[in-house]
Structure 1
């Protein structure tokens, strides 16, 4: 499904005032046989994972939808993808901010798709009939393996590959699910076996600075990388794929109005802007909903 096709179908639905989604197999908002119904005034439930950036993005989605008259319920800070995915598929959630490469790796750990278009196309084939992605944003937040400057200097680290022969002496930190998602991949792709895996959730950057862990999974838009003088290691073998922010939706729960509102957010959101917003949330400790409101107003979306 291309972004052009999504926009075309959205425009057509608006022009016709359709009360039901198209039955075309190319429509990302149509279920098998055209059985999905648009929101038609029903509540759109916006969910989020349990980390600050995803809450911020969900707040942006929620406010953008409300600005277009869509009735919204917010269910933020639910948990990891392993929890959220089932809720979205069942219809308990309607919209979720996702990251295309990470989502594809969850659906197919052996995928070799690279680049936004290839990843999105593969997602179109791998997602179940109930779910679809809308337009991806230019904004990208990639996983990284990050170390303190002291560790980088001491071990002469500039890339993940440089950890070969050294990982066995190092503790790696990240979200609780990081080990189950990535341990085998690090072994297969880079030949790395770490001394210990320690769950650090959103405190990974701080744990690197204080030495609790020596290597950590830190998102590249986390402003603490610069603030704390950390070093995000290069990933020459592309273990971490593209990670464009993208709305993942339950097709039956979004109509043309909701689709257009979410695509408008994607059209405006870039990496530099997201990083600046995350500084306000993660460093300045501003309320994500207020930060979202400011961004939408500045971009003429709310």
Structure 2
């Protein structure tokens, strides 16, 4: 969760920055591929921060929520959205190209500490606070959660008698899974499916965004990694398989920030976290992805309704 998310491509998406090679000195945020803009809420501000996002609609939407909440406090904000996957945007925040980004507690913890075994929200958050690299910190987590999941069609669930992920074990020879490319090498992916459930699919198809949903809907794959706030689940009647051993764990939305900027942004961003819950997040994502509303309009409406503007 990665986390790259499997959501319909909306007007949010800009050019995706290529994944930076390990050890590369290339700046992942180049002028040619970034989607930066600056704004402020009238008058000069002594504080300026750059808000980034991963390359899927929910991430950019959350980036806009953070940006507007900060601007409401008189902070000058530069937007650097649709950077890429976690592998890329973590290079950006540790390198100082961005200062703030919305993250997901369980996915980030699992990325930073492959041996982490906690799954309950507060335990995951406490472990994450200890695991973040020097120079970074996480602020208050929100109640809003968007988890990794494996989804199948109703037809496949009926034909294979599927209710939970372990039920896939009896059909490995026929199992084809669609997911973002990173799913192949992550614990919250094929690695974990093997180590936790002893499941290895016959084929893995690396697909992004709407292509993953379409592949599942059209029967090209038997299962897909789709995230829990994705409106395509309800729209297509997909069945999300239960995860009894908590491979995917809890994944609360949380601001990841550079330590040097934490004092400046924590009041505004902690206020966002205090108000943001899963239904509100899912509704905003639907408005952006399905209803094709502009993310800045959706973010402003929610912040206003939450009393944060």
The two structures have a TM-score, normalised by structure 1, of 0.84
SS at match of 2:249: coil
Paired residue for 1:237? 245
Query: Which structure 2 residue ranges, 5 or more long, are not aligned?
Result: 1-44
Matched, 1:89 2:94: yes
| Residue 259 (structure 1) aligns with | 266
Shift of 1:254: 3.4
- Please give the alpha-carbon distance, in whole angstroms, between the structure 2 residues aligned to 1:213 and 1:198: 8
Tell me which residue corresponds to 2:124. 119
1:151-185 CA-to-partner distances (Å, cap 9, x unmatched) read 11111111001001212312101112111112121
- 1-structure distance, mates of 2:98, 2:81: 10
Is 1:57 the counterpart of 2:65 in the alignment? no
* Conservation of the 8 A alpha-carbon contact between 1:137 and 1:245: yes
C-alpha RMSD over aligned residues: 1.2
Instruction: Note the 1:126-275 alignment, pairs <5 A.
Output: 126-181=131-186, 182-203=189-210, 204-256=212-264, 258-275=265-282
Q: Does 1:301 align with 2:308?
A: yes
After TM superposition, give the deviation of residue 299 of structure 1 in Å: 0.9
Instruction: Count residues in correspondence.
Output: 262
**Is the 1:44–1:254 contact (alpha carbons within 8 Å) kept by the matching residues of 2?**
no
Deviation >3 Å, runs of 4+ = none
Matches within 5 A, 1:268-283: 268-283=275-290
Residue matched to 2:7:
none
Three-state SS of the structure 1 residue aligned to 2:53 is: strand
The question of 1:79 aligning with 2:79 is answered no
Question: How much does 1:79 deviate?
Answer: 0.3
Are the equivalent residues in 2 in contact too, given 1:152–1:231 (CA < 8 A)? yes
- Select between 194-203 and 240-249 the one with higher mean Cα deviation: 194-203
Identify the structure with the greater helix proportion: 1
State how far apart, in whole Å, the 1-side matches of 2:143 and 2:47 are. Answer: 30
Query: Following the alignment from structure 2 to structure 1, what is the Cα–Cα distance between the partners of residues 281 and 238?
Result: 19
1:98 equivalent in structure 2:
103
How high is the TM-score relative to the length of structure 2?
Answer: 0.82
Unpaired stretches in structure 1, ≥5 consecutive residues: 1-39
